[in-house]
Amino acid sequence: MPEKNRARGRPKSFYNNATQNTIQSVDRALDVLEILATKGNMTLSDIAYDLGQSPATIYRVLSTLEARNIVEINQTKQVWNVGPAAFQIGYSFLRRSSVVERSRPVMRDLMDQTGETANLGIEKSDMVMFISQVETHETIRAFFPPGTQSPMHASGIGKALLAYYSTERITQLFKNNPLEKFTDNTITDPEKLREEIKKIRELGFAFDDEEKNLGMRCIAAPILNFFGEAIAGISVSGPTHRMTHDRVEVICKIVKQAATTLSYNQGAPSDSAATIP
């Protein structure tokens, strides 16, 4: 009889056989789901080619996922995409933190005040992952679908979070993640980035000045929890022709106030500063 009174996330044998505990078919199904999430509108042949698998194998995976509405096919074009059940599963991740739900009205207000897209992001595996967005009504706008990831050093939210990391954690992150250059404005020198981080700590907000994408700027500020730890970041992104340097000064104050409001909603004292370990 199995034990019923001992809660556990993994069996005892897991730690002794870590390399033997993956299931190939599940791993292959997740590969299919990941590539559809990244590219979308893919034919069976495209998926099989990109993953280095036979069409017959991939078709079995797709059929299994389709039966659970995790993927779906456009019968006319014969292309596959992520299905509604995948969204429901992914959304359960967002529900783990009240910051997502509580941020929505603040983000809508932020978009109304600035006229630009408001974003919410968290750190995930040394990257910024955008988990919520309120888009501007303007034709030209920033767009980061939930789940999109971006390097920390070339993101407004990423730099806002980096500013409240310990020196040791920043050093390790730089060691594990080369500072890739995306534009002429991307900060790729670790020492210059440390200077930027110090400036962000003093000002309370981060500025992405066309560092990831030319023609786009972003202003971000950290969201704190009860302990004064930065748990997420909120930002406004828009094209340079609207987010001029004159407007940046005004938008900085609005973004900082939005972050302060959300921090208060997370239990942070109104006069708290983010904790830097």
Question: Can you give the CATH number for the domain in which 40 is found?
Answer: 1.10.10.10
Q: Which two tokens stand for residue 124?
A: 């995930």
Q: Which two tokens stand for residue 195?
A: 């200077």
- Same domain? For 209 and 127 the reply is yes
> Of the candidates 86, 118, 135, which is a domain's last residue?
86
Spatial separation of the C-alpha atoms in residues 149 and 277, rounded to whole Å = 25
- Same domain? For 131 and 231 the reply is yes
pTM higher than 0.85, yes or no? Answer: no
Spatial separation of the C-alpha atoms in residues 33 and 37, rounded to whole Å = 6
- Same domain? For 31 and 145 the reply is no
Nearest Cα neighbor of 217 from 124, 130, 116 is 116
pLDDT, greater one: 3 or 91: 91
- Same domain? For 40 and 145 the reply is no
Spatial separation of the C-alpha atoms in residues 72 and 68, rounded to whole Å = 9
Spatial separation of the C-alpha atoms in residues 80 and 74, rounded to whole Å = 6
**Which amino acid belongs to residue 78?**
Q
277 belongs to a structural domain: no
Instruction: Quick: pLDDT tens for 21-77.
Output: 678 999 999 999 999 988 889 999 999 999 999 999 999 999 999 999 999 999 999
> Of the candidates 86, 104, 138, which is a domain's last residue?
86
Burial of residue 20 (number of CB atoms within 10 Å: 0-12, 13-18, 19+) = exposed
- Same domain? For 149 and 230 the reply is yes
7 belongs to a structural domain: no
139 belongs to a structural domain: yes
Host domain of residue 185: 96-265
Nearest Cα neighbor of 178 from 162, 154, 200 is 154
- Same domain? For 65 and 169 the reply is no
- Same domain? For 155 and 245 the reply is yes
- Same domain? For 112 and 223 the reply is yes
> Of the candidates 66, 86, 106, which is a domain's last residue?
86
Phi, psi torsion values for 223, nearest 5 degrees: -105, 130
> What pLDDT, on a 0 to 100 scale, did the predictor assign at position 15?
52
- pLDDT score of 275 more than 50: no
Spatial separation of the C-alpha atoms in residues 20 and 271, rounded to whole Å = 50
- Same domain? For 149 and 72 the reply is no
* Number of domain units in the chain: 2
- Same domain? For 29 and 120 the reply is no
Phi, psi torsion values for 61, nearest 5 degrees: -65, -45
Spatial separation of the C-alpha atoms in residues 236 and 142, rounded to whole Å = 9
- pLDDT score of 152 more than 90: yes
> What pLDDT, on a 0 to 100 scale, did the predictor assign at position 155?
95
* 78: confidence class by pLDDT, cuts 50, 70, 90: very high
- pLDDT score of 171 more than 70: yes
Q: How many residues does the chain have?
A: 277
User: Token pair 């990941």 is at which residue?
Assistant: 34
Beta bridge partners of 234: 120, 221
Question: Can you give the CATH number for the domain in which 157 is found?
Answer: 3.30.450.40
Spatial separation of the C-alpha atoms in residues 126 and 247, rounded to whole Å = 31
